[in-house]
Chains A and B, each alone.
Chain A
Amino acid sequence: MKEHDQPDRLVLVEMYRKMSLIKQNDERFRSVVKSGRLVMPYYSPRGQEVIPSAVSVQLTNDDYICTIYRGIHDMLAKGVPTKLLWAELAGRATGTCKGKGGPMHITHPASGVMVTTGVVGSSMPIANGLALAAQIRGEKRVTIAYFGDGASNIGAFHEALNMASVWKLPVIFVCQNNGYAEHTKYEYGTSAVSIAARAPGYSMPGVTVDGNDPVAMYKAAGTAIARARAGEGPTLLEAKTFRFQGHVFGDVDAYMDPAEKAAAIAKDPVPAYRAWLISNEHASEAEIDMIEKAIKQEIDEAVEFAMASPFPDVAELRRDVYAQEVEA
């Protein structure tokens, strides 16, 4: 397999913009939930910013993703507008889903975010269907199915990988292996030495990559995307990372090894990448500052927009259940 090209300067900087967008949004989500201004179950992706940033920078709006409840970073990286996302998280009528989906069920077809599921392991079978439609129609779109390491123990994972391989679907299964399935550490719940090790059982490439290394992640994703676009079938891409927060925001993460956590946070991939960009002269500090500032302003506006937006009318209970309105 040909190794994927090195990203150019613009791509390197765009990856950082996406990472910073995710990090700043996550920090604001947590602070607003903590303050009580937003009430929602929140699954922080802090620490996992690199993965969808390095993937999405190689996708267009025509490419699809299916993601999961811990997928706010995937959505932001794919291009869901911050304002609409905030409004949805606040349950407002102006949100991506009119406030009817919430953080675990974001859909935004305009940016290619087709399904967000709250059920572990369910993103993969549906991603196959998106890829199947593209294959039958002869389109060049690819579909990314994001999921966590715990999801690879669900039957749906195995069914989906098998089917995708038999049918050579243009789908990439991106496992964000953060070491914990909810509260259970990897080795207590997963028999395989790695998630990628499961791929040969389905006759597809299985690649483990450092999901906190933006260039390595970019190359690994690029190879899988190129393979899918060429009609050569699926790839299982395991991106090793670490979750800085507990499972759901607010849980007491006593099940996490404090030393392991401290070490991971010390190697926080976002500031590390920022420093790397500057020291390698891919971007100046001033340029990065401007990017970060613009994001901060975007989030300020999004929060204001969300909080000022109306809640959905109660009549919405009757709508979108079926194509026709129902009695409710």
Chain B
Amino acid sequence: MNAKLEMLNTIQAVNMALDYAMGNDPNVIVLGEDVADREEGGVMGVTKGLSTKYGVSRVRSTPISEQAIIGAAIGAAIVGMRPVAEIMLMNFTTVAMDMIVNHAAKLRFMSGGQTHVPMVIRTMTGAGFSAGGQHSDFLEAWFAHTAGLKVVVPSSPAEAYGLMLSCIEDDDPCIFIENIASYWIPGPMPEKGVRIPLGKANVVRKGADVTVIGYSRQVHDIAAVAEKLAAENIAVEVIDLRTISPLDTETILNSVAKTRRAVIVHEAVKNFGVGAEISARINEGLFGQLLAPVGRVGSAFCPVPFSKPLETAFMPSQSDIEAAIRATLK
């Protein structure tokens, strides 16, 4: 039997990763709003079945109290548990920023290494559902800007599985960002227990002409554009970062040293985004070797709009990506 032919989606993959981790390690606990089965296993069903299997002591539905959720996860983590705390939507991390930024991120350093916070914050976000300004933001740059946090952005079901296992086992606090729009994109079944290391980007497609760097849902758009351009003999090398922090600068620079052209794509607004950091690193590492300025593609600098045509215009499209690639080839 070829297990690779079996397909699943990211909701199932994250569920399988949590199940695997909880089965292996009694210190793994899950907490968040509505996560237990009595509350239907989370609004998207990501945690469905886990409380029935592992009990409501380890899979706890919480009050709507983001500071209390993250605080409880931090406290449990510093005494050796491995909590996976769900913040239902990424915008709601703002309510718990003190806990995330002042405490989870800094306790290892401020304690001189005596304590550390091996927790995962699972969250989901993404535009495209007419959810408007407070339910759709990508805020990964905020967290990547904070020393002490790790920021993880899976692009496929198998990657979500392997990266989640690594996050749970990691000794530092990880923010795991699931993209709602890609939840139902099917992908091959992961192999049971296979971890994908944090901090290692994935070269999705080889190409000699231009490097396009992206993550999360945009990897699918980049791959589609790369396929289209291949018909014109434009060879795009596609890099899926998988993690924003730590950032795999080596893979990026090796690729761009070869192609001498780069474009960075993300759903977060372009201004002050992850693209700016990557662009700066490419310039620092490869100044003089570049054949074109580094291109950046991101969302418009405005809150995520409600009205469909505005929301569509807000987000980076495949044609935006294509235009940015072509601009580097002029």
Q: Is the CB of A322 within 8 A of B103?
A: no
Q: Which of A280-328 contact B (CB under 8 A)?
A: 319-323, 326
Q: Is A122 an interface residue when CB atoms closer than 8 A count as contact?
A: yes
Q: Is the CB–CB distance between B72 and A97 below 8 Å?
A: no
- Give the number of A-B contacts (CB < 8 Å): 150
Asked whether A319 lies within 8 Å of B68 as measured between CB atoms, the reply is: no
Chain B CB within 8 A of A239 CB: no
- How many positions in chain A have a CB within 8 Å of any CB in the partner chain? 47
For residue B58, which residue of chain A has the nearest CB?
Answer: A136
In the complex, whether A53 has a CB less than 8 A from a CB of chain B is no
Say yes or no for B57: interface residue by CB 8 A criterion: yes
Chain A residues near B309 (CB-CB < 8 A): none
* B74 located at the interface, meaning its Cβ lies under 8 Å from any Cβ of chain A in the complex: yes
A170 to chain B minimum Cβ distance, whole angstroms, is 12
Q: Top 7 A-B pairs ranked by shortest CB distance?
A: A129-B75, A125-B71, A98-B112, A107-B111, A97-B112, A159-B68, A159-B65
* B148 CB within 8 Å of chain A: yes
**Chain A residues near B278 (CB-CB < 8 A):** none
Given contact pairs A119-B98, A126-B74, A159-B68, A98 touches B113 in the complex (Cβ within 8 A)? yes
Tell me if B74 and A129 are in contact (CB < 8 A): yes
Query: Chain B contacts of A99 at CB under 8 A?
Result: 112
A196 at the interface (CB under 8 A from B): no
In chain A, positions 115-136 with a C-beta closer than 8 Å to chain B are: 115, 117-119, 122, 124-136
Tell which of B77-85, B126-134, B209-217, B223-231 binds the partner.
B77-85
In the bound complex, CA of A162 to CA of B150 (Å):
30
Q: Which residues of A contact B106 (CB under 8 A)?
A: 105
Chain B, residues 93-134, CB within 8 Å of chain A (1/0): the string is: 000001100110011111111111000000000000000000
- Whether A67 sits at the interface, judged by CB under 8 Å, is no
- Asked whether B62 is an interface residue with its Cβ less than 8 Å from the other chain, the reply is yes
Q: Give residues 4-20 of B contacting A (CB, 8 Å).
A: none
Query: Smallest Cβ distance from B103 to chain A, in angstroms?
Result: 6
Per-position binary interface string of chain A over residues 65-77, scored 1 when its CB falls under 8 Å from any chain B CB and 0 otherwise? 0100000000000
Does B67 lie at the interface of the complex (its beta carbon under 8 Å from any beta carbon of A)? yes
Q: Determine whether B76 belongs to the interface, using a CB cutoff of 8 Å to chain A.
A: yes
What separation, in Å, do the CA atoms of A323 and B147 have in the docked complex?
Answer: 12
- B79 partner residues in chain A, CB cutoff 8 A: 64, 114, 130, 133-134
Which residues from chain A contact B57 at a C-beta distance below 8 Å?
135-136
Among A98, A114, A125, A131, point to the contact of B70 (Cβ < 8 A). A125
B67 and A156 contacting across the interface, CB-CB below 8 Å: yes
B80 touches A133 (CB 8 A): yes
**CB within 8 Å for A128 and B60 given contacts A101-B110, A107-B107:** no
A163 touches B62 (CB 8 A): yes
Indicate if the CB atoms of A319 and B76 lie closer than 8 Å.
Answer: no
Q: Are B72 and A162 in contact (CB under 8 A)?
A: no
- Please judge, given known A-B contacts A124-B71, A322-B148, A323-B172, whether A97 and B77 are in contact too, CB under 8 Å: no
Given contacts A166-B63, A326-B147, contact A100 B103 (CB under 8 A): no
Determine whether the beta carbon of B113 is less than 8 Å from that of A320.
yes
Q: Does B222 contact A (CB under 8 A)?
A: no
For B60, B74, B111, the residue with the greatest tally of chain A CB atoms inside 10 Å of its CB is: B111
Query: Is the pair B99, A122 in contact by a Cβ cutoff of 8 Å?
Result: yes
Assess whether B201 is interfacial by the CB under 8 Å rule.
no
Which residue from A96, A114, A118, A156 sits with its C-beta under 8 Å from B71? Answer: A156
Within 8 A of A (CB), among B44-93: 57-58, 60, 62-63, 65-68, 70-81, 83
List the A side residues contacting B324 at CB < 8 Å: none
Q: Check A167–B60 contact: CB distance below 8 A.
A: yes
Q: Does A320 lie within 8 Å of B58, measured CB to CB?
A: no
State the Cβ distance, B146 to closest chain A Cβ, in Å.
10
Contact of B112 among A101, A117, A126 (CB under 8 A): A101
Q: Is B29 an interface residue (CB 8 A)?
A: yes
**Residues of chain B in range 162-209 having any CB-CB distance to chain A below 8 Å:** 170-172
A113 to chain B, nearest CB (A): 10
